[in-house]
Amino acid sequence: MPTLCKPAVSVPEHVITMEDTLELARTLHPDHPQLPLALRLIGNTGVAKRHLVQPIEETLKHPGFESRNAMYETEAKARVPRVVTEALGNAELRPEDIDMIVYVSCTGFMMPSLTAWLINTMGFPGHTRQLPIAQLGCAAGGAAINRAHDFCEAYPDANVLIVACEFCSLCYQPTDLGVGSLLSNGLFGDAVAASVVRGKGGTGISLERNGSHLVPDTTGWIAYSVRSTGFHFLLDKRVPTTMEPLAPALRTMAAQHGWDAGELDFYIIHAGGPRILDDLSRFLEVPPEAFRFSRATLTEYGNIASAVVLDAIRRLFDEGGTADGARGIVAGFGPGITAEMCLGRWASELSEAALTTERQVLGSALRGTAAGHGTDAPTETVL
């Protein structure tokens, strides 16, 4: 069965602390009429520090979109290969073992995608499929896992490399002075992450079901305005309330699989901000400690967009993993408002055979239940 192996994560060397961020806001915007509100919101993010691809003095400049996008390409090519190499090692695979590369990023643009460059420079086969995803924002980390899962279901012997490359600091816009923009300036950080989904074998999260949910009429809540100066990030004040409609979607997907979303063993959730995690804890009726991996990512790195879920998964591995068969959920949230969700169990290579048998029994039982009630079987994959 497809298994998500240990991710590799790297953050740039330039660090900005919460104290630095607050002082910069006071210095740059002393006469802003909503400065006290912005300072309070930034202080409430729980972000202790963030990592940037440039020193803060350079980050605050705007040399133009062309220059910034060139820097995105340069930094991606400099930083991604090492993370990819580590992720392949974690999965005990070589470049020639990879059948598809899913590359997710919303902070720069390249065509051909970085996937083509990776294939040409790192020894991946010429027949490697390429799937670049650029417009799902923070939800793309979850989407990448789900598309890798789907591919390995279609091709059981295949292996998929996932790469998330986010340089959020390159989207800083000094003329954007709304409270949402000021908050974003104190929330987002830079990171590169990679992981492999193995079609067979491996230790990690054995993927069982995935799904997507879009909250109606929220397309303007998280968005880019694309202008001559680049990507201008738009963040609606209603975004922190999105767990109220998304928590039921998590519950529904878990219930379709015969699980209770409030009684799982591990939770990997996109850490868009502290209220997201606080509200989800309340709506799912799980203790705040359940989201410790996501909170640690937010505290130490800030919101690193699509890389958040991979970093939180890496922290689960670093804690020693969990018991074989332990059940969990992974969810990324982003523009749309979109949730990309998946369910899986912790599995080592030795436990995979037993889990396969259990899934087959569960799948037969669920199909039998659906037939007995005269209803259609669930649309998502049941293994």
Do residues 64 and 114 both lie within one domain? yes
Within a domain: 316: yes
Of 174, 198, 222, the residue that ends a domain is: 198
Residues 110-126 have pLDDT tens digits of 999 999 999 999 999 99
CB–CB of 245/307 below 8 Å?
no
Q: Average model confidence (pLDDT) for the chain?
A: 91
User: Where is the domain boundary, 134, 166, 198?
Assistant: 198
pLDDT (tens digit per residue) in 16-30: 999 999 999 999 999
Structurally, how many domains does the chain consist of? 2
Whether the Cβ atoms of residue 183 and residue 242 lie closer than 8 Å to each other: no
- Do 63 and 183 lie in a common domain? yes
Percent residues over pLDDT 70 in the chain: 91
pLDDT digits (tens, 9 = 90+) for 176-219: 888 888 898 999 999 999 999 999 999 999 999 999 999 999 99
The CA distance from 316 to 313, in Å, is 5
How far apart CA 224 and CA 231 sit, in angstroms, is: 6
* 15 shares its domain with 113: yes
Residues 214 and 179 in one domain: no
77 and 43 together in one domain: yes
Is 146 in the same domain as 13? Answer: yes
pLDDT at 127: 97
Residue 329 pLDDT exceeds 70: yes
Give the pLDDT of residue 374.
43
Cα separation of the two ends of the chain: 9
**Quick one: pLDDT at residue 272?**
85
263 within domain boundaries: yes
Question: Mean of the pLDDT values across residues 323-338?
Answer: 95
Average pLDDT score over residue span 160-164: 98
Class of residue 23 by CB neighbours under 10 A (exposed 0-12, middle 13-18, buried 19+): exposed
Q: Two tokens at 254?
A: 């878990």
Q: What is the mean pLDDT of residues 40-51?
A: 94
372 in a structural domain: no
Q: Which band of pLDDT confidence, cut at 50, 70 and 90, is reported for residue 377?
A: very low
Query: What pLDDT is recorded for position 9?
Result: 98
pLDDT per position as a tens digit, 270-287: 988 889 999 999 999 999
Instruction: Give the pLDDT band (50/70/90) at residue 1.
Output: confident
- My answer on whether 186 and 227 are in the same domain is no
Residue 353 has pLDDT above 80, yes or no: no
Q: Taking the model in full, what pTM does it have? A: 0.88
Pair (237, 179) in one structural domain:
no
254 and 214 share one domain: yes
Q: Which CATH number fits the domain that encloses residue 33?
A: 3.40.47.10
Can you tell me the mean pLDDT for 370-380?
A: 41
Q: Are residues 61 and 76 in the same domain?
A: yes
Whether residue 185 sits in one domain with residue 90: yes
Residue 382 lies in a domain: no
Confidence of residue 376 (pLDDT cuts 50, 70, 90): very low
Q: For 164-188, what is each residue's pLDDT tens digit?
A: 999 999 999 999 888 888 898 999 9
79 and 176 co-located in one domain:
yes
**124: in domain:** yes
Residue 112 is assigned to a structural domain of this protein: yes
Q: Does residue 381 fall inside a structural domain?
A: no
Is residue 260 a part of any domain in this protein?
yes
Q: Which domain holds residue 338?
A: 204-355
Active-site annotation holder among 5, 138, 165, 342:
138
Task: Please give the Cα distance from 17 to 300 (Å, whole number).
Answer: 10
For residue 106, indicate whether it is catalytic: no
